[in-house]
Every structure is written in C-alpha cells, then in structure tokens.
A and B are shown apart, each in its own frame.
Chain A
Amino acid sequence: MEVKREKIRANLPLDEPDANKALHVRQVRARDLLRGDIEGLDLEKVVEEAVLTTRLDKVLNWGRANAIFPATFGLACCAIEMMSVVSPRYDIARFGAEAMRASPRQADMLILSGRVSIKMAPVVRRLYDQMLEPKWVVSMGACSSSGGMFSNYAVVQGADKFLPVDIHVPGCPPRPEALLYGFNKLQRLITGNPDIGWRTRYSAHGTEEWARDLGKVTDEARDAYAAARDIAEAAGPPPSGSPGSPVDVPGPPQERADVPSKPDRDTGRFI
C-alpha cells in the first residue's frame, strides 16, 4: 500500500534562518486546529496536509503483510537456504519477517523447506492445524512442491496434497533471493494485490495446455490456404519489387502429431 506523508521538516528550507519559524507556524496551526479556531479553506488545507485517509482493511492487510512471523521449521536441505534468508546478507527483516517463532501457535507462515516424507506429512499437517488464522504456507523447492527428484515410495508428491499452499518457490534448492521473491509475492497476495501472471505480461494467453486444441489447423483453414495459393498462382508472378511472391506464401503448418517423436522401439527407425 502506498503511504504518502510529507515529513514536517522535509521541505523546509533548512538553510534559511526562518526554518524554525516555519515549523513554529505549523505547530501553531495544529494547536489552532485542535482548539477549533480554523475554519473554511484553511481547515481543509490543514487537514489535507496532516491527515491520511484509508480503509481499515487496507491498513489491516498492510500490517499483516509486513509483520509475518514464520515458524522455525526446517525439513531438509532447503532449510539451510531458509536460515541464510534471516542472515544479514539477505535479511528478510527488511520485509518484517525476521522473527522466527519456535511455536506454531505464534507463527503466521509455514515454510516447507524440503521434501515431506509420508511419515512427516501428518506432523506437518498437525503443525499447520495448530497455527492460528490468518496463516499462510510457502512451499520451498521442487521436493515439497512436486516431490522433486524423490519420485519414490517414501516422499509425498507435492505438499499441496495435504495442506493448502499459497506460494510455490521453484528451485533445488532455491537461492535465498528466490525465497525472498516468493515472500514478496506472498505479501502482495496478503495485501490483496496479486501480481499479474507472466501470460498476461507477455500476451501469451492461448498457450495453456487446455487451450492447445484451439490452435490446431482445421480442414477449413487448410482449404482456405490452398484456395489462396491457387488464386495467387493464377494471377501470375507479381511485378518486380512488390513484396511477397506466391512461393513465399507459407503452407499450413504441419500438425505435431504427424511427426514421430522418437524411433520405433524394435527397429530403431523413424516410421
């Protein structure tokens, strides 16, 4: 949330001999305001200078996002990176989350720093249940997000199978800067200002998996391409200098399913 408030002395010409006098004028006006001696346009001006208006929930969320208490809770090697986030070199205290609480009952945020084995999952879930609302979970690293390299009988394939995860931080392990970035994302999520995704930022809508069929070349489009090429050929070669001769008109793109992706298992050849 943006807070604009000019400091009392910030824009005073300090090098002038009357700097203290200008401050004195303001103090006198504040006193008059409290007495009720100021009216009309003067009152509006004073209020505009001295009073900040906002909504209560905005202030509440602003305070929440900047006073997070993470739980002291390390699961595996990512915990080393999580510890260095608190160190002066990376310093999560800049964002108000340096006070790691040793009890889940005092914590707001749970950082799943490492793989969650199926024996540990009930413990993590109990810790999460013991935390008081509002609470958030950051899944740190590939293991707690998807199982990572531990695709085996002992590790839960993604911690969001058993508790709600707000932020996934990729990496193996993520650098402390990555965790800080994920934490900043969480702060924006808390203040109700979630960032736009990269698809919006790069105008890449339509590239999702569910939208893959939308881009397929239909038979109608193929016929239209062929008809356009016939017309262009019938018109003859374009005069020299005009852009785009008929041979440059691209044909319909081949469907990906027609191209074998790997050699045949028996013969070793592309069929």
Chain B
Amino acid sequence: MPDAPGLELIRADLNEAHPDAITGSYYEHGQACLICDPSKIREVLAWLRDTPGQEYTFLASVHGVDYLPAEPRFGVHYELLNMARVERIRVRAALEDPGEDALPEIPTISDEWPTADHQEREVYDFFGIVFTGHPELRRILMPEDYAGWPQRRDFPIGGEPVIFTNTERDVPGWYA
C-alpha cells in the first residue's frame, strides 16, 4: 500500500505521462485512491501496470458505486494489486449522471484485463453503467428481462411490508 506521500508521487508521475487524466487523490483508512477521468481510464490503468517501479499487475476487483446525491454521481472502482510488494491502489473513475433516459458510459478494459469481463457485466447489471467496447454486455445476475438498475440508490427497495402486532396500525385495513 503506498502511503500518502507515495500516492502523491504516483499522481505526479501520472500527470507527466497523461496530463489531465487524474483529477484528484485521497488517502483514507490506509487506502490510496486516485480519481480519474473516465475517458482516460485505459491509459491510467495501463500506465500503473506497465511502468517500471509501479507494476500493479493484478486487477483484484471492478465494482460500481452510486454516490447519490453527490456529484459526480457514479463511480467505477478498479482495485489494483502489486503482488511482489503486496501494495494496493484504487482508481476511481467518476461518472456524471447523464439523466433519466441515458446511461453513463466508460471504456471497457476487458480486452486488456480478461477478469474485468464478468465484473463489468455485474456493474452494468446493478448500476446501468455501459462499458463501451465490451464484447457481450448483458445482465449477469438479474433476469435478462429485468427492468431497472437495482443497486442505484433511487431504486425502490422492493419487497412487501411485513405486518407485526406493533406495526399493524400503520397499515390500516391491510387484512381486507
């Protein structure tokens, strides 16, 4: 795990290699995170993988986050691991919410990191984030005819209210 100065060194090196790619960085709870422009995500991850001295060769996880009501709303997290030094770094691509009718888009990395294939499908399944260039982007866990993106924070929880003796007066006439 790079410490906070180490994270700033990585950010400075990345700024030289890919200007405007990194928009922020923070170090919290012993975890280093780079915030990235989604259109540059492939270059940033490839730089972290291939640059001598970095070599975060293992993509441990790809997952989505909904930060509603914060802006930008969505985040796609890439957890990288250097297995020689056992150091981890997180790259977060911050995506704006394009509105009701459109879906946020980010380039896929599944051609370079094959493990990202299913995980990008899972992020698409639950958050509706489209990975452009993905070979087969369809739902992976929910039924294929499911409507909506269930892990978004504005998605209704679902289920049915369970009536107990202490809550039955909140639902008048529930037994009718």
Query: Contact at B142–A119, with CB atoms within 8 Å?
Result: yes
Q: Which of A150, A154, A209, A261 contacts B142 (CB 8 A)?
A: A154
Contact between chains at B150 and A210 (CB < 8 Å): no
Minimum distance in angstroms from A19 CB to a CB of chain B: 66
Q: What is the minimal beta-carbon distance from B150 to any residue of chain A, in angstroms?
A: 4
Query: Would you call B5 an interface residue if the criterion is a C-beta within 8 Å of the partner chain's C-beta atoms?
Result: no
Known: A209-B175, A261-B166. A157 touches B159 (CB 8 A): yes
Q: Which residue of A lies closest to B156 (CB)?
A: A153
Select from chain B the residue with minimum beta-carbon distance to A158.
B160
Q: A154-B142, A261-B169 are in contact. Are A147 and B175 (CB under 8 A)?
A: no
A154 / chain B contacts, CB cutoff of 8 Å: 142, 150, 158
Beta-carbon nearest neighbor of B169 in chain A? A261
Q: Which of A78-121 contact B (CB under 8 A)?
A: 118-119
* Cβ of B162 under 8 Å from chain A: yes
B158 and A151: CB pair below 8 A? yes
Alpha-carbon separation in the docked complex, A49 to B143 (Å)? 64
Query: Is B70 at the interface (CB under 8 A from chain A)?
Result: no
Taking CB atoms, residues of chain A closer than 8 Å to B157 are 151-153
- Chain A positions 138 through 166: 1 when the CB is less than 8 Å from some CB of chain B, otherwise 0: 00000000110011111101000000000
Chain A residues whose CB sits within 8 angstroms of the CB of B155 once the complex forms = 153
Please state if A151 and B143 are interface contacts (CB–CB under 8 Å): no
Q: Closest approach, in angstroms, between the C-beta of B86 and any C-beta of chain A? A: 34
Q: Is the CB of B143 within 8 A of A119?
A: yes
A118 close to B143 (CB less than 8 A):
yes
| Contact yes or no, B150 A151, CB < 8 A | no
Interface size on B, residues (CB 8 A): 17
Q: Is the CB of A152 within 8 A of B158?
A: yes
Q: How many residues of A contact B (CB 8 A)?
A: 14
Contact with B along A9-35 (1 / 0, CB 8 A): 000000000000000000000000000
Q: Which residues of A contact B156 (CB under 8 A)?
A: 153
Docked complex Cα distance between A91 and B166 (Å): 40
**A147 CA to B160 CA, complexed, in Å:** 8
Contact indicator per residue, chain B 127-163, by CB within 8 Å of chain A (1) or not (0): 0000000000000011100101010000111111110
Shortest Cβ distance from B122 into chain A, in angstroms? Answer: 13
Q: How far is the CB of B56 from chain A (nearest CB, A)?
A: 34
Give A37 to B61 CA distance when docked, in angstroms: 90
How far apart are B154's CB and chain A's nearest CB, in angstroms? 13
B159 touches A150 (CB 8 A): yes
- Shortest Cβ gap from A56 to chain B (Å): 43
Give Cα A150 to B160, complex, Å.
10
Report the separation of the CA atoms of residues A154 and B142 in the bound assembly, to the nearest whole angstrom: 8
Instruction: Find chain B residues with CB under 8 A from A118 CB.
Output: 143, 146
Tell me the minimal C-beta distance from B112 to chain A in angstroms. Answer: 31
Q: Specify the chain B residue showing the minimal Cβ separation from A153.
A: B158
In whole angstroms, how far apart are the Cα atoms of A14 and B72 in the complex? 93
Alpha-carbon distance between A151 and B156 when the two chains are bound, in angstroms: 11
- A206, chain B: closest CB distance, angstroms: 15
* Known pairs A153-B150, A261-B169; A147 contacts B159 (CB<8 A): yes
B103 → chain A, closest Cβ, in Å? 19
Q: Are A157 and B160 in contact (CB under 8 A)?
A: yes
State the Cβ distance, A143 to closest chain B Cβ, in Å: 12
Shortest B176–chain A CB gap in Å is: 9
Complex CA–CA separation, A155 to B146 (angstroms): 13
A residues near B (Cβ < 8 Å) are 118-119, 146-147, 150-155, 157, 209-210, 261
* New A-B contacts (9) at CB < 8 Å, excluding given A151-B162, A152-B159, A210-B175: A119-B142, A151-B160, A152-B157, A152-B158, A153-B150, A153-B155, A154-B142, A157-B160, A261-B166
Could you show 26 A-B contacts with beta carbons less than 8 Å apart? A118-B143, A119-B142, A119-B143, A146-B162, A147-B159, A147-B160, A150-B159, A151-B157, A151-B158, A151-B159, A151-B160, A151-B161, A151-B162, A152-B158, A152-B159, A153-B148, A153-B150, A153-B155, A153-B157, A153-B159, A154-B142, A154-B158, A155-B159, A157-B159, A157-B160, A209-B175
List the 3 closest A-B pairs by CB distance, nearest first.
A151-B159, A153-B158, A209-B175
